[in-house]
Structure 1
């Protein structure tokens, strides 16, 4: 770069030595500072998440903590500790840990920015010092011939007109380079000012986040202390918890029996409808086969041509085979273990399956207090709980809503599960239990987001919905079907 810029100056003979040195010096200063910085600066490491993503994550977690705090407050209105209170505390602790993790990621992100900005400041300061030093040397060299007489003598010392024009062009270029040098210094100073301002803001943000992290860590310690206290209090209520567990298990068995019965009934009903349609088709096929056989016999009695007789026999054979297929289909339709779908219900079932992992939550607010499958009891030792669905703890009076379009298959009441609503989506079924009120009826068509009732709040102040997903007679994990709330 220095050689290229230096070549712009055509050196006339007999130039003063100081001017030659100044020209070379100025040519070197014309290299952009940013290009030199790019050749020496190290690229910052890429972070897995952007600052905006981390901030959105943090805000979402704070919203979840607020919801859990409201639910916890409702459970704490009763003096006696409860599993609902323990579940709310666990949810707060889990989300609080995520908040701290997100804050730590933000701190690492800012720390990386601080280091990069500090490096840029050092490079810019060094560049500015270099520019000022070069400019100082240039001014010192130029001060030796600043009077107009020396400049005039330099021009008129030319031996020809061409040399005179070259010297005049050089003097003008010399002045322009000095002006550009001043502009470079001013731009570098402005850049340095902006970098220092950014560095100050980043350090302030880092300090604020550190304060927040300390505060969140203290909150986490407080929550864990509360959790230990609740667990200790619940441990002293072992007999009561054993009784509640036995009642729940009995209620679960009754709910399982109800679901199994209604699924079997729906499969049988759909099979009967399919069998009736198949029987009608079989009867029509048999009648057509009989008519075709009669036509073949008439053709043979009436001394029809060989071709006509062959055609009649072929039609009779094909019709008989179709009748046999129809009869077989009729028999198969009476032995099914899944819902026989119509074109409309098949489309609904396919749409439900395609939305796996994106389905609407059955409540607008809340958290999963008990997950699907077998897991240890939160308090009782050596006791395993088997959950057919998920328990979603929410706020008092929270509406339950249909997660997808469907038809209400049943509305029932089970001791320990309160009101139960079962909605059919083709060969899929969703179950909403522990409802205080129900606002739909059997056979009613419902749309996604449509309220189907309100969630029940027990005497301990816990508002909890039991939610299940089935495909025919197979129990599914609802968390794999619901989307992010």
Structure 2
């Protein structure tokens, strides 16, 4: 009969193995969710940016669109590779586990067979009775009776352990087979994605080469666009500072720190807004984030670096713009040779909606989450429909991607 240490070690090993498999399974689920999100994003941008081949776009817009598509596809391939590598580790782990289980199963069977032989040799009730009657005293007879019962129970447990171990081995073999099939499918999908990526990179090279002949003209356009963005930044900052000053003055407070002095009602609204970080609805029904927040160097003119305070969401023509949360329209601004911008206040937070074609609210209006406040402007020359979107806390700009829900 095997020692208790053997079975304790065996059970401990199984617990560790199960914990490892659960951890790996959780990682696979997280990677799969991330992969599906990237596939959805790729499908969205194909639909929004590349579905209408008849639509004329400027070369710079095409380069920007392709570059965004390239970045999403690279991320998709990266996640897919991580998933394949994790699958490889899981397959290797399962193969080792199967080898270990087979060894353990054989040991259990050998142990069980030895018990059966021993049991057969002393199987008669008479033998058991003689074993008890030959005891020198009552205490010994009692111990021998307990031993007979324990031995019978142990035989039964060994039989059940063999059944359990056999089932575990069968399940693991099925799981291993599925993992190998999943990995094979994943590798094939990766090959297809890499071929698409190579084509997109070549398309981008062709477009980049086409503008080199007239780089001066394109550089002038890029610098002009940067100036327009900088001018709008200053105007939005001015409006927010004025809104803070006016609100604090109305409350009978003077503050030059760039922060709101909040009423209890405004404090509650700000708290609710903050509690929804990462869960705010999108300002459009359908879209992809084509322009990221933060510093980015121009694709076509490396001498130009822009610190973007907005995200730019590519969407469909005539898309409605929706408020991301309850609030009050703080300001509506239309720049000279520009499109309307709406500032909505949420306590000491602002959501800002830029590049609109029409406005459906007025200053001072109370609005609710999801309410349509305007429409996105479509640039016919560039062939794109882009909404600029920002979030501020007091006069500090924040990355909106951290606030809106994942699509």
TM-score bin, normalised by smaller chain: 0.7 to 0.9
Q: Per-residue displacement from partner, 1:329-373 (whole Å, max 9, x unpaired)?
A: 9xxx5x968587562674267437745854544334434433445
Does the 8 A contact of 2:262 with 2:348 survive in 1?
A: no
Say whether the 8 Å CA contact 1:348–1:425 is kept in structure 2. no
Which residues in structure 2 correspond to 1:129-278 (within 5 Å)? Answer: 129-134=106-111, 184-236=161-213, 238-249=215-226, 251-252=228-229, 255-256=232-233, 258-259=235-236, 262-263=239-240, 266=243, 269-270=246-247, 273=250
Preserved contact between residue 309 and residue 399 of structure 2 (Cα < 8 Å): no
For the Cα contact (< 8 Å) 1:413–1:420, is it kept in 2? yes
Equivalent of 2:291, from 357, 363, 370?
370
After superposition, where does 1:279-298 map in structure 2 within 5 Å? Answer: none
Task: Please give the per-residue CA displacement for 1:375-417, whole angstroms capped at 9, x wherever unaligned.
Answer: 3212123223343433332333332222333322333433553
Report if the CA contact (8 A) 1:397-1:454 is conserved: yes
Selected match of 1:93 from 67, 70, 81: 70
- Mapped to 1, the partners of 2:121 and 2:81 lie a distance apart of 61
TM-score when normalising by structure 2: 0.76
Q: Which blocks of at least 5 consecutive residues in structure 1 are unaligned?
A: 1-27, 279-328
Aligned length: 396
Partners of 2:134 and 2:61 in 1: CA distance = 101
Q: Distance in 1 between matches of 2:129 and 2:342?
A: 107
TM-score of the aligned structures, taking structure 1 as reference length: 0.65
Q: Over aligned residue pairs, what C-alpha RMSD do you find?
A: 4.4
For residue 437 of structure 1, the aligned residue among 349, 358, 362 is 358
State the secondary structure of the residue aligned to 1:87. helix
Q: Is the 8 A contact 1:81 1:234 kept in 2?
A: no
CA contact (8 A) 2:58 2:383 kept: no
TM-superposed CA distance for 1:162, in Å, is: 5.9
Q: Structure 1 residues 171, 38: closer, same or farther in 2, change over 3 A?
A: closer
With 343-352 and 435-444 compared, the bigger mean Cα shift is at: 343-352
Query: Which is greater in Rg?
Result: 1
Distance 1:109 1:159 in 2: 59
Q: 2:403 maps to which residue?
A: 482
Residue 10 of structure 2 corresponds to residue 37 of structure 1: yes
Partner of 1:463: 385
- Please tell me whether the aligned partners of residues 407 and 443 of structure 1 are also in contact (alpha carbons under 8 angstroms): yes
- Cα distance in 1, alignment partners of residues 205 and 231 from structure 2: 34
Instruction: Kindly report which structure 2 residues correspond to 1:390-429, keeping only aligned pairs within 5 A, or say none.
Output: 390-414=311-335, 417-426=338-347, 428-429=349-350
For residues 53 and 387 of structure 2, the distance between their equivalents in structure 1, rounded to whole angstroms, comes to 19
> In 1, distance between residues paired with 2:264 and 2:312?
32
| Whole-angstrom distance in 2 between the partners of 1:76 and 1:145 | 88
Structure 2: gaps spanning 5 or more residues = none
Q: Residue 411 of structure 1: SS of its match in structure 2?
A: strand
